[in-house]
């Protein structure tokens, strides 16, 4: 596609539930990143994929968070047993190559845990 697409744009879930957030990167971009942005803050790194593999998942806050990119294109961020503190905007970005370059961000998924 022309840009990075994230779905859903908004998600409200109850505490303790499981959610999946989807990211469709720009076609051909091998690198994909997930960031989390809390209100009034800059985005914080969660995980980086190069192709199908998670090259760096050091930003994932705990084991309730998991992300996959099985075919090296679409990625899914999965959050188990959601907590109110997980409420944030989850941003996805993609770039053409291994060493970054032109990052393009999606519009994000606003997750609200009630």
Partner 1 sequence: KNQVEQSPQSLIILEGKNCTLQCNYTVSPFSNLRWYKQDTGRGPVSLTIMTFSENTKSNGRYTATLDADTKQSSLHITASQLSDSASYICVCRSNDYKLSFGAGTTVTVRA
Q: Cβ closer to partner 1: 6 or 73?
A: 6
Residue 64, classed as helix, strand or coil, is coil
Contacts with partner 1, residue ranges (CB under 8 A): 4, 31, 33, 35, 40-45, 48, 55-56, 91, 93, 98-100, 102-103, 105-108, 110
Residue with tokens 């190069």: 50
List the beta strands (DSSP E) in 57-108. Answer: 65-68, 75-79, 88-95, 104-105
Using CA atoms, how far apart are residues 2 and 57, in angstroms rounded to an integer? 27
Instruction: Give the nearest distance from C-beta 52 to partner 1 in angstroms.
Output: 16
Q: Cβ closer to partner 1: 83 or 98?
A: 98
Q: Cβ closer to partner 1: 35 or 65?
A: 35
């Amino acid at each position: 596609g022309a840009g990075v697409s994230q779905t859903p744009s908004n998600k409200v879930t109850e505490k303790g539930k499981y959610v999946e957030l989807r990211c469709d990167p720009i076609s051909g971009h091998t690198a994909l990143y997930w960031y989390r942005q809390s209100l009034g803050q800059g985005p914080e790194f969660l995980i980086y994929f190069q192709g199908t593999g998670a090259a760096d998942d050091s930003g994932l806050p705990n084991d309730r968070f998991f992300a996959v990119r099985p075919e090296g294109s679409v990625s899914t961020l999965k959050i188990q047993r959601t907590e109110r503190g997980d409420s944030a905007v989850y941003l996805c970005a993609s770039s053409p190559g291994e060493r970054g370059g032109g990052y393009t961000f999606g519009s994000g998924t606003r997750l609200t845990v009630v």
